[in-house]
A and B are shown apart, each in its own frame.
Chain A
Amino acid sequence: MNWMDSLFHELQTIPEVAGLAAADDTGTYIAGMNIDDTDEFAALLTFIGRSGLALEEHLGLDPLVYTSLSGKKIKLIVHRILDYFVGIRLSEKSSISKVEGRINSIVGNLDIEDE
């Protein structure tokens, strides 16, 4: 998928980005880079994404844009793009609030109209 290649290429330019992956609704790993445990990571992305979609449905909210997850061992942003969950793993010392604006800008400017 051209949009995914393009997206990964742009996201890689952000120094705080440590790894990338995309998963589909079934939790299947589609593509990625610098992720060791691809199957588990894909499952995590789909699980987080589905949780957000469930909240959206329960609470009658407008569409889910993205999810951020932070802890001692992981900093992760998960975007919903078309039918995929795209996970951006950040370096442990990075700050999500400082990076998410740049990531959102890249995702927001993604050209997926022709896909």
Chain B
Amino acid sequence: MTEQHEIDEILGDIVGIEGVTGVIASDNRGGIIAARMPAMYEPETIEAVAKRVVDSLLNIREYGSGADDVIFHFENIRVVIKNIRKGFLIIMSMPDMSVPLLNISTNAFRKRIIRLLTFSRKTPAKPKSPGTETGVAMATNGNLSETTPVATVADHAASLHLVTNQTA
């Protein structure tokens, strides 16, 4: 099983938590690693959300606030942004779910994703033949299976490494 599939499975576990309605794993540039979002959201919407969130978090970091978690509380939903070192987890939950409960429920999954991303960074990138992009399709609840491939896991790992170097 690839890191990508493992992360996708972990997101499936997170969405299985009572009160959680969707989750996106993005890299530090807002690129989608995997996502499990409600059927109503188009892939373009999910990508736009991830990019916006990541831009925000990176700018907040620039301010020197060192924010680990940001939670947007809307009337009908809560959007929780969690730092996973090489990217972010964007979790949508019902507003009445307690934040400490959400943290406890998701922390183990968050750590597993961090480990996977850290491991994939060390995986040597395989040469890719032109035009044979195997791609990492955005994982979804099924309705968004025709999404555009983002990158191979090795590409993704390489990009993470670059971002890490840039922000160090």
The chain A residues found within 8 Å of chain B, CB to CB, are: 40, 43-44, 47-48, 51-52, 54-56, 58-59, 61-74, 76, 96-97
Asked if B139 CB lies within 8 Å of chain A CBs, one says no
A71-B67, A73-B65, A97-B99 known; A55+B73 contact, CB < 8 A: no
Partner of B59, one of A47, A52, A61: A47
CB distance from A54 to the nearest CB of B (A): 5
A-B CB proximity, top 4 nearest = A62-B75, A51-B56, A71-B67, A62-B76
Contact between chains at B73 and A71 (CB < 8 Å): no
- What number of B residues sit within 8 Å (CB to CB) of A? 29
A to B CB contacts below 8 Å, 23 in the list:
A44-B63, A44-B65, A47-B59, A47-B60, A48-B70, A51-B53, A55-B49, A55-B52, A55-B74, A58-B52, A61-B76, A61-B79, A63-B74, A63-B75, A64-B72, A65-B74, A67-B73, A69-B67, A70-B67, A70-B69, A72-B66, A74-B66, A96-B99
- Tell me whether B94 is interfacial, beta carbon within 8 Å: no
Interface flags for B45-87 (1: CB within 8 Å of A; 0: not) read: 1001100110110011001111111111111110100000000
Chain A's closest residue to B65 (CB) is: A74
B19 to chain A, nearest CB (A): 15
- The answer to whether A68 and B68 touch across the interface, beta carbons within 8 angstroms, is no
**How far, in angstroms, from A97 to B71 measured CA to CA in the complex?**
11
